[in-house]
Amino acid sequence: MTLRNQLEALPANAQLLLLTTLGHVYVGTILDIEDDSLRLARPDGDETIVLNLADVSGVRVHDEEPS
């Protein structure tokens, strides 16, 4: 299964943790998936994040436990 297929199989409004090959971790909701990139909405509503799919090394659904 490709990364794109994994991303498309996730729930539409899921908050995700995206891990990159450079060691960065991004949190957000997928707005759009293109041929070679994806666009994330940040949780704070500021700017969107654009990542190259080749730079994404892992994806996890972010389950925040209530405090």
Write down the pLDDT at residue 58: 94
Q: What is the pLDDT of residues 9-56, one digit of tens each?
A: 999 889 999 999 999 999 999 999 999 999 999 999 889 999 999 999
Determine the pLDDT at residue 12. 85
Whether 66 shows a pLDDT value over 90: the answer reads no
Its sign, for the CA torsion 17, 19, 20, 23, is positive
pLDDT at 67: 62
Give the residue extent of every domain in the chain.
3-61
Structure tokens, 57: 């090394």
| 3-state DSSP of 6-59 | HHHHCCCCCCEEEEECCCCEEEEEEEEECCCEEEEECCCCCCEEEEEHHHEEEE
Q: pLDDT at position 64, please?
A: 73
pTM for the full model?
0.84
Specify the CATH architecture of the domain 3-61: Roll (2.30)
